[in-house]
A and B are shown apart, each in its own frame.
Chain A
Amino acid sequence: MDLNYSQEESAFRDEVRGWLKANLPQDLRDKIASYDELGREDLLRWHRILARKGWVAPSWPKEFGGTSWNVVQRYIFEEECGFAGTPPLIPFGLSMCGPVLIRFGTEAQKKRFLPRIYNGEDFWCQGYSEPGSGSDLASLKTKAERVRDEKAGDHYIVNGQKTWTTLGHFADWIFCLVRTDSSLAKRQEGISFLLIDMKTPGITVRPLILMDGGHEVNEVFFDDVKVPVENLVYEEGKGWTVAKYLLGHERMNTGRIGASKRELAKLKEIAGRQKGDDGRPLAGDPRFRDKLTRVEVELMALEITNLRFLDQMRRSGQPPGADVSMLKIKGTEIQQALTELSMQAADPGSQEEFTGLAKRYANMRKTTIYAGSNEIQRNIIAKMTLGL
């Protein structure tokens, strides 16, 4: 047993760390550090910097621009990005639509979309959730009707509504789960996976402003939207298979350990500087310090748990099972605890510092809800790992 990285792994980490230090633009670093909202250009700029380096899509096959890194290297890269505080790579193209096209797409679809995803030319978003279909995704209602048209080619007419569409207001394209057949008894059947150009007439994007005032998510309305059949991925009615593949795609970074380490360091800095009522730094106040330490310990444990999973995966060559759900549960609980303590540590008399951290605290409540709420993650472990 050896908890330390091997010499090669350490060398790789140093290489990534050094490169990030030299290539992450200062203005982007500052924006992340002060929790500013990032614009479309901020996100694409960082995407393109990584694309030029060849590091933007590590998990893709080599022929499409992948790095051939093993699982440990991929994990190290992601955690180093989190620790350095880079803008996030928007996953909808790189980690969702891309892998789906590589697995299920036609040659024409791969050729048309993959290079543009890789180079950050198209901004993608995800059309899954609907107002009535959150955790229960298979109940989705957005309808796509196939229309025969000998002159212009067959197409679908899409009607319905998607919601919680993250960064839909920046997107050029959306991949959607739509119902192409409502006559089937099993709800998972009759769903199809469509790629839709956001400029198509009939699409309306309406912002959903979150309680911290931020604009991240949207509602997207489809009103007789015409989608050519060549934008169908895999077979009609087999969209659920595609969706499941996408959800099961390696999720080894859900713990966000690198980013939480950065937040922890920042929290310690605040707690060392802010003084309690007795004039001692908060970091020396046992009531505050013990809360902080418990979060730090959970984070240490989560990092080792994550490494254990990686080691297992490397050894077995198998993708991680349902146990990765625990990385999501613990990782998000830790993220939330850190933002809560940071808000508590801030000087309540300093509007600037306090409000920034309080908004961040409010915003981070989303983490235990999104990407499969933590209750859904518990259902997954209960069913798949524990056999309940």
Chain B
Amino acid sequence: MNFDYNEEQQLLADSVRRFLAKDYDFESRKKIVASRDGWSPAVWATMADMGLTGLPFSPDYGGFGGGAVDLMDVMEAAGDALLVEPYLATVGLGAQFVARAGSDAQKKAVLPQVVEGKLKLAFAHTEKGARYNLAKVAAQAKKAAGGWAITGEKFVVLGAAAADKLVVSANTDKGLSLFLVEKNAVEAKAYVTLDEQRAGDLVLSGTPGELIGTEGGALPVIEEIVDFATALVCAEAVGAMKFACDTTLEYLKTRKQFGVPIGTFQALQHRMVDMYVAQEQARSMACLACSKVDAPSDARDRSRSVSAAKIKIADACRHISQEAIQLHGGMGMTEEMKVSHSFRRLTMIAQQFGDAEHHLARFAALSY
């Protein structure tokens, strides 16, 4: 039993935090959010220089061979800073499909470029009405000259606009499969989400794609990688929650009414304590999720633990974000305060890859 980060993890996290504090403060972030593409090539280049884009990939392709636990503190720092760069889309999702299911040739073509920060990916999977059911896909892939042709529509694809390549799910005669697709071959409509990230709706009409992994064998791979990404957003949530708690505590100590700081009122103190306790309980479950996706005893054990974590994280996201706004009063409602932006991210994380109800059902299905 050991909950400490090792020296390498600690050093990396420290430098990430220093960098984000300096170059990704609230004002800098605002400019990036307001920019045309909604992400910063300069920030991305620095992240690549720091080794962040190579962290969870094999040293064979220039990476550091890390896992979710190695990414935990980085994700926490990203949550604190409300990072909007397409990091999760590329490193946590898109490139993971190539790394875990791709052929040697695909790995060689994609991963070194990802590690160097030259290539970004996105996972185009969700369709209208599928909600959180990973198996529900209507897009079709048919054999075509030299490869496959994919037809279908994908919605709210995280990081779609920034991506160079897409990993697209579609059904063949043999079942659910995955394909590597050039982004510029796809018709895309990009937009800003509630939490100021960029996503897009995609239309594929006979778009050429290259099969990743086994035809018809995609579902277990998707489940594994979505569990991995879920563990990462659990860690990110902990960072966003910590920011929301810390800034609310600061506000309670400085905001005065009736001649005293409002933090002297017991009605508010106890609510602040409950936020703090929820944050610590959430942190514990993020530790569980990240350790289990790195070293599960089996897929069932992995998914059950990730669902348990996501239930707690989703509940804590809602609890802490709502209370943070309430304790800030009217100021918390405004665009000016970073806390309202953390509210938006926490609201989205509560639902990303399945809300509490989805994971309650999945946990039960895996338990009984």
Contacts and interface: CB of A to CB of B under 8 A. Distances in A.
A329 B277 contact: yes
Interface stretch (A39-47, A287-295, A337-345): A287-295
B3 A381 contact: no
Contact of A72 (B1, B284, B360): B1
A136 to B, nearest CB: 14
A311 B2 contact: yes
Q: Which of B277, B291, B308, B315 counts the most chain A CB atoms within 10 A?
A: B277
A294 B1 contact: no
Nearest to A314: B1
A127 B284 CA distance: 37
A300 interface: yes
A53 B272 CA distance: 45
Given A289-B364, A297-B312, A1 B273 contact: no
Contact of B281 (A272, A289, A305, A310): A305
Interface stretch (B118-126, B169-177, B214-222, B261-269): B261-269
Given A375-B270, A379-B266, A294 B360 contact: yes
Interface residues of A, number: 43
A6 interface: yes
Interface string A303-347: 011011011100100000001001001100000000000000000
A301 B315 CA distance: 13
A187 B363 CA distance: 53
A291 to B, nearest CB: 10
A387 B274 CA distance: 15
B6 to A, nearest CB: 8
Q: Identify which of A272, A297, A308, A311 gathers the most chain B CB atoms within 10 Å of its CB.
A: A297
Contacts of B360: 286, 289-290, 293-294
B252 A293 contact: no
B281 A330 contact: yes
Given A297-B285, A326-B277, A378 B69 contact: no
Interface in A40-90: 72
Contacts of A297: 285, 308, 311-312, 363
Interface in A356-388: 375, 378-379, 381-382, 385-388
Contacts of A296: 308
B276 A386 contact: yes
Interface string B327-356: 000000000000000000000000000000
A315 B280 CA distance: 19
B178 interface: no
A298 interface: yes
Contacts of A379: 266, 269
B368 interface: yes
Contacts of A300: 285, 288, 308
B361 interface: yes
B291 A3 contact: yes
A9 interface: yes
B280 A305 contact: yes
Interface residues of B, number: 41
A283 B315 CA distance: 22
A378 B5 CA distance: 29
Contacts of B249: 386, 388
A304 B272 CA distance: 22
Nearest to B271: A378
Contacts of B284: 301-302, 304-305, 308
B253 A1 contact: no
A298 B308 CA distance: 9
Nearest to B68: A1
Contacts of B4: 1, 311, 315
Nearest to B290: A1
B308 A304 contact: no
Interface in A250-304: 272, 283-284, 286, 289-290, 293-294, 296-298, 300-302, 304
B263 A388 contact: yes
Given A284-B368, A307-B1, A307-B3, A3 B287 contact: yes
B269 A304 contact: no
A288 to B, nearest CB: 10
Given A1-B5, A294-B311, A311-B3, A330 B285 contact: no
Given A4-B1, A6-B1, A294-B360, A301 B312 contact: yes
- Centre residue among A6, A272, A290 by max chain B CB count within 10 A: A290
A297 B285 CA distance: 9
Contacts of A301: 281-282, 284-285, 288, 312
A1 B269 contact: no
Interface string B299-323: 0000000001001100100000000
A1 B277 CA distance: 21
Contacts of A381: 273, 276-277
Give the 3 A-B residue pairs with the shortest CB-CB distance, closest first: A304-B284, A382-B269, A301-B281
Interface of A: 1-6, 9, 72, 272, 283-284, 286, 289-290, 293-294, 296-298, 300-302, 304-305, 307-308, 310-312, 315, 323, 326, 329-330, 375, 378-379, 381-382, 385-388
Given A301-B288, A302-B281, A323-B280, 16 more contacts: A1-B2, A283-B368, A286-B361, A289-B360, A293-B311, A294-B311, A304-B284, A305-B280, A308-B284, A311-B4, A315-B4, A378-B270, A379-B269, A381-B276, A381-B277, A382-B269
Interface of B: 1-5, 69, 72, 249, 252-253, 263-264, 266, 269-270, 272-274, 276-277, 280-285, 287-288, 290-291, 308, 311-312, 315, 357, 360-361, 363-364, 367-368
15 contacts: A1-B2, A1-B3, A1-B5, A72-B1, A283-B368, A286-B361, A293-B311, A294-B311, A297-B285, A297-B363, A304-B284, A308-B284, A308-B287, A386-B272, A388-B263
